[in-house]
Amino acid sequence: MYQPIGFEQRSLVTSLGIMTYYTNEGELWQDNTEKETLVFLHGFGGGSSAYEWSKVYPAFAAEYRIIAPDLIGWGRSEHLAQSYKIENYLDTIREFLQKTCDKPGTACAKSDRAVTVIASSLTAAFTIRVAIAHPELFKSLILTTPAGLADFGEDYSRSLFAQIVSIPIVDTLLYNTGIATSGGIRNFLERRQFAQPKRIYEEIVNAYLESAQQPNAEYAALSFVRGDLSFDLSLYIEQLTTPSAIIWGRKSEFTGPEIGRRFAQMNPKAIRIFQQLDDVGLTPQLELPAVTIGLIRKFLPLLNQQSV
């Protein structure tokens, strides 16, 4: 899988299995300065992995310590032959942050060890819940299209596609023939993630395909498309205290920006910034990485200044 120059692949053990992550510990980015940590968490979908942020996080490698994991069931991390539940990801995101938020031997629970997490879609929604339960781990949040996929009573799991994918045998058949193929990946990216299909190039398709074809990769993907991981984020959003910014593509399929605006209105004390991007879909970090980099650079000082 794609690994930016100057980044190394590492791993750690969580209660659910081994997680692989990428970090700028290579010689290219090393110096003697103490750097704050930015953690980049990818969203879910057929073939998702840390690649999703790989066009963005190298831009911050000279100034920050970068950590970008493959979540359990995705990319190069461990793939368990089981259905995944919401609690699995809440627990492993928390564990991962506790084990990597600072250099070995330091106490991550201290407020000066908190990190900024930049997360996408359903994972961003999970991250909000982790930040509510463990605010000491977080300095700020920058979230692209955070949605629980059952928000305000609009439950994705009741959709026809989710019901079809819930049928045994049919689910694995659909995954192997309609998701974990080059055509299936491109179709998913065109329909679900990108506003402009012309922005999808071969490297993106290949990176998603390699992740989707890992042994047992279907278990996490099918848990997602069945709606097993969906929840109503509106029931939690008012409890968030971590300073946050939200970026939302106007052409995000199934999860339009009106959902994000409602979240922001429910908790303006924590959600300080809501930025809509026109002509962009679910993953601006892949579709318009330069714009996403610029927004992150703009939001970081604003959020961190207000969090003091």
pLDDT tens track for 225-284? 889 999 999 999 999 999 999 999 999 977 999 999 999 999 999 999 999 999 999 999
Residue 110: per-residue pLDDT = 44
* pTM for the structure as a whole: 0.94
Residue 306: per-residue pLDDT = 57
Question: Using an 8 Å Cβ cutoff, are 158 and 264 in contact?
Answer: no
8-306 belongs to CATH 3.30.70.890: no
Q: What is the H or E stretch that residue 221 is in? A: helix 217-226
pLDDT tens track for 85-109? 999 999 999 999 999 975 543 444 4
pLDDT tens track for 139-175? 999 999 999 999 998 876 677 666 777 777 777 888 8
pLDDT of 112 > 60? The answer is: no
Residue 104: per-residue pLDDT = 44
Question: Using an 8 Å Cβ cutoff, are 171 and 165 in contact?
Answer: yes
254: closest CA among 142, 150, 129, 175? Answer: 150
Mean pLDDT of 41-65: 96
d(CA 213, CA 59): 29
